[in-house]
Structure 1
Amino acid sequence: MSGNSVWRPLHEELARWQEAGKVARFWWRDDDAIEPTAALDRLLGLANAHETPLTVAVVPAKTGPALSERLSAASGVSVAVHGWSHENHAPPQEKKQELGGHRLAEAVLGELYSGFLTLQRLHPARFIPMLVPPWNRIDGSLVSKLPALGFECMSAFGRAAEEASIPLLNTHIDVMGRGADRKGPRVGKPHDELVSELVTELQDRFEGRHEPVGLLTHHLAHDATAWKFTEGFLAETGDHPAIAWKPATALVKDQMSTT
């Protein structure tokens, strides 16, 4: 572990976990993959260097064989369904949403099924039946219909509901945020803010909450701040005895066995 003071609160919390003989489970999801890019290469390089399992949420309508070929050379990477085309169908006064109640449910579900089949075909060895709603939003009436399409789990952002119609494996730490004016493009969050969020999530788990902690990245949108935090966080936790980075498939199986 580094001596950087920014990480000190995390070091102290992990020391408490280690002293108690506890191990915190983490997992990693990156959104919006479409095709091979330099940013994707950097992402996969980090995952490989730190031997950290990674789930890549791929946009089915915009991807193709090129991404399949690129990921075939990567180890420890799984592929989830990131909606269909990542297009907003909500009116301007509402938050962006592709999987909302703004269209007929049959149309939305039809697209999701097409996305499922597309990625299952392109990534047969890496595909996991997980839906990642674009912008982490989905109309509640659609969730109960996902298992009929073949989905076995869903991943959004924030604390997972204790009772859901499909197993949830959510993310909780988003490395990207808005600037001080809350406008303009998203930027990497300050590192001390992210470390504070991590400590809060770990304290919650220490008290008995079973949910794994999910790291959320967006390789295509990262600035230098976001990349530096991601690399630093993996380095700080990769070989710590109080942290276990788990693949999504294992965590979903674990969750299903305890429900």
Structure 2
Amino acid sequence: MDMSIWQPIVDRLDRLRAAGRRADFWLRDDDAVAPTGALDRLVELADRFSVPITLAVIPAHTSGELSHYLASRDDISIAVHGWTHQNHAPPAEKRQELGGHRPREVVLDELDKGYSRLSALHPSSFVPLLVPPWNRIDPGLLAGLPDIGFTALSVFGAERSSSNPDGAKTMKTGSIASAFPRPGLSLVNTHVDVMDWHGTRGCRDHLEIIHDIVRRLDEMNLDEETVGILTHHLVHDESVWQFLSRLFELTAVHPACRWRRGGDLTAR
């Protein structure tokens, strides 16, 4: 592996240290339901560098087995990843579980069940954070989330409005920022995805991921925003594991980087 490609991240962090500043990073890993070898590997890797994990768990498919596996850990936060992670959009649309294709009351009731189930299974590590499957949610649902107990929402993309909204019916990436700030609900996004979903479905080119991290460091508001890294442990190839190992190695000990727990972010 060419270690020189990592120098831009080190340079940015060194500049922050010289200025007396610090960037918050966080790791969101999606689609957890049960203990697996892949989850073991993620947990062991994060442990090695003391990096906390926020697991987005699918409530309808999980059980006490995962709860028992994580019971003694205080460095893993549990977020609500929809209800069943089932697509309800027609073939011509992007996949959505929390879209506008079903009655609002039905979707909110499922999210309420998911919130109750995970908070009961993981009483000490549960955080009131909703992670919509496929990072998509209908805007009409947002007002009902605080009534369930959610205090934060996490999708993929910038927290501030962009000039290229994804569309009126579904809020994703920059477009969701137009609905914030809003009472009782904060936006805690991920910004860098390690997976090449539209190509190899393995790890993206390491240099491209590094460029995304550097761009986020250059653009973010250090006082209010984070660098959110998005992973999916169940589908990682060896290149993903290598990337994460090197990223954690470089950042976890750097005084200008702080890896945050999910609860730290929802409490802000």
Pair in the same fold by TM > 0.5: yes
**Residue number among 174, 178, 201 corresponding to 1:186 in the alignment:** 201
Matches of 2:31 and 2:267, distance apart in 1:
25
3-state SS of 1:68 partner: helix
Matches of 2:50 and 2:2, distance apart in 1:
22
Matches of 1:114 and 1:106, distance apart in 2:
12
2:256 aligns with: 242
1:45 aligns with 2:44: yes
**Residue number among 189, 195, 204 corresponding to 1:170 in the alignment:** 189
**What are the superposed Cα offsets for residues 169-204 of structure 1, whole Å, 9 maximum, x if unpaired?**
1110111123xxx35x62211110011001000011
Paired AA for residue 195 in structure 2: M
Contact kept? 1:44, 1:74, Cα under 8 Å: no
Q: Which runs of 5+ in 1 are unaligned?
A: 255-259
Q: CA deviation at 1:3?
A: 8.0
2:211 aligns with: 196
- Percent sequence identity is 46
Matches within 5 A, 1:125-136: 125-136=124-135
3-state SS of 2:233 partner: coil
Matches of 1:199 and 1:209, distance apart in 2:
17
2:246 aligns with: 232
2:169 aligns with: none
1:220 aligns with 2:238: no
Q: Which runs of 5+ in 2 are unaligned?
A: 160-176
**What are the superposed Cα offsets for residues 85-125 of structure 1, whole Å, 9 maximum, x if unpaired?**
00000011110000000001111011100101110111111
Cα RMSD for the two superposed structures: 1.6
Contact kept? 2:129, 2:266, Cα under 8 Å: no
Contact kept? 1:33, 1:56, Cα under 8 Å: yes
Q: CA deviation at 1:208?
A: 5.6
Paired AA for residue 171 in structure 1: T
TM-score, length-scaled by structure 1 = 0.91
User: Which runs of 4 or more aligned residues in structure 1 lie more than 4 Å from their structure 2 counterparts after TM superposition?
Assistant: none
Contact kept? 2:8, 2:214, Cα under 8 Å: yes
Paired AA for residue 204 in structure 2: K
3-state SS of 1:202 partner: helix
Matches of 2:80 and 2:36, distance apart in 1:
19
3-state SS of 2:150 partner: coil
Paired AA for residue 137 in structure 1: R
